[in-house]
Amino acid sequence: MKKMFKILFWLVSALLVGCGSSDEPDIPLPKEKVIESTEIGSAKLVMLGYLDNVTAGGMLQPESFATPVYIKDRKLCGTDYTFAVCSKVERLDAMPDFSTASDWRETLELTEGVTAWVRYVTASYYGYVKLRVAYIDGNKVGVEYKVASMQKRPDINSIELTESGAKAFVLKGYAGGGATAEGLLPEGLASRILIGNKELKGVNYSFAKYDGVSKLPNLPAVSAVTEWRTTAPITGNSAYWVRYTTPQEHVFLKLRVAYIDGDDVGVEYLLSSHETIVNENANVATEGRAYATDYSIPHLNSANYYVEHTVSVNNQTVFNYALEWNDAMKHSAWVAFVFDKITSEKKVSRPDIDPWNVDPHFPKQCK
């Protein structure tokens, strides 16, 4: 009988415990956050590493992209990737075109709701990805993304020739500050058109820039140029008159910026015309005036008497100095010295004579 009571006691106890536990509310499991789709064809991914930088199994690598986007120090980054935030845009289908993005950065600060263009760069193409941060939950970052465009990078074959006889060339050095070896050397000219500090430059070159000119024939006539500058900023949708100057002539070129891509600037150019320079101040070399055309010699005055002196060094005749004598004033109008390693040497073929002697080259009437 006692055994029956014990059994009954345990049955009742078990029943009471069971009834009591069924009345207690269940503890809800944490709700998994949802990544909403905001554009047809988008994909979703939970990235890892927001808190601990451990990204294994939680990196974004779109199809056909060779390297991934990952989280580091609460920012998105990746080899060959840059990012441009789209302000006040909450959906992928509301993002402006990637061509409007300008502030490209190497990392993207992670904040909930941010949308951004992601650009992936290779030697031959650009990949553009739309990205939206749906949520940040502990170590997890939920993102929605969509590969929007794959763009072939421009090259010399991409440059449209807009005028008969024009040629294409790719200048180097736009992003890197200048690469002289990759300058443009137009046919028949002695120096190159180069890039420096994102400007066109070059020895003996000057430039006149015209914005909004997309074809070489649309440049105004070169005679309309009012100001020539030694450098010119490089911008898209711009064309230039380029002038190359020698002592004998001006050479005029047309040049148009077809594209700017990283370090490369694709240009179309055309040798347009030549203009002979008439130098009214130039002297003519005649007998006894072998050095009259030297840059150091001013334009000669026919009313005065011109003489030039040479020295002999190592069996070579070297120009030493020249002067123009004003006999009415009994004084030189000017003296032009050549000062170099040879002529600066003391007593090079100079006899010890009175320094105030009359120049032996003067005619008798000037002595």
Which DSSP string corresponds to 134-177? EEEETTEEEEEEEEEEEEEPP-GGG----STT-EEEEEE-TTTS
Q: Where are the domains of the chain?
A: 43-152, 156-276, 279-367
pTM of this structure: 0.63
How much is the average pLDDT of 123-142? 97
User: To which residue do tokens 């009742």 refer?
Assistant: 12
CB atoms within 10 A of CB 262: 13
Instruction: Evaluate if residue 348 carries a pLDDT over 60.
Output: no
Encode pLDDT of 282-310 as tens digits: 787 777 788 888 878 888 998 999 999 88
Instruction: Evaluate if residue 347 carries a pLDDT over 70.
Output: no
In the numeric block, which tokens belong to residue 325?
């004598």
CB atoms within 10 A of CB 266: 21
Encode pLDDT of 174-196 as tens digits: 987 655 557 999 999 999 999 99
Confidence of residue 313 (pLDDT cuts 50, 70, 90): confident
pLDDT at residue 12, as a whole number: 53
> CB under 8 Å to 335, separation ≥6 — which residues?
321, 322, 323
Instruction: Evaluate if residue 7 carries a pLDDT over 60.
Output: no
Confidence of residue 6 (pLDDT cuts 50, 70, 90): low
What letter does residue 292 receive in the DSSP assignment? T
- Burial readout 279-317 (b: 16 or more C-beta within 10 A, e: otherwise): eeeebeeeeebebbeeeebeebeeebbbbbbbbeeeeee
How much is the average pLDDT of 213-233? 97
CB atoms within 10 A of CB 188: 9
Q: Are β-strands 199-201 and 232-233 bridged in parallel, bridged antiparallel, or unpaired?
A: antiparallel
pLDDT at residue 318, as a whole number: 82
Residue 261's DSSP bridge partners are 264
What letter does residue 196 receive in the DSSP assignment? E
CB 344 within 8 A of CB 338: no
Residues composing the chain: 367
CB 71 within 8 A of CB 49: yes
CA dihedral 121, 123, 125, 131 (to 10 degrees): -10
% of the chain surpassing 70 pLDDT: 83
The segment with the largest mean pLDDT, out of 13-22, 256-265, 279-288, 300-309, is 256-265
Q: Which of 299, 305, 187 is nearest to 251 (CA)?
A: 187
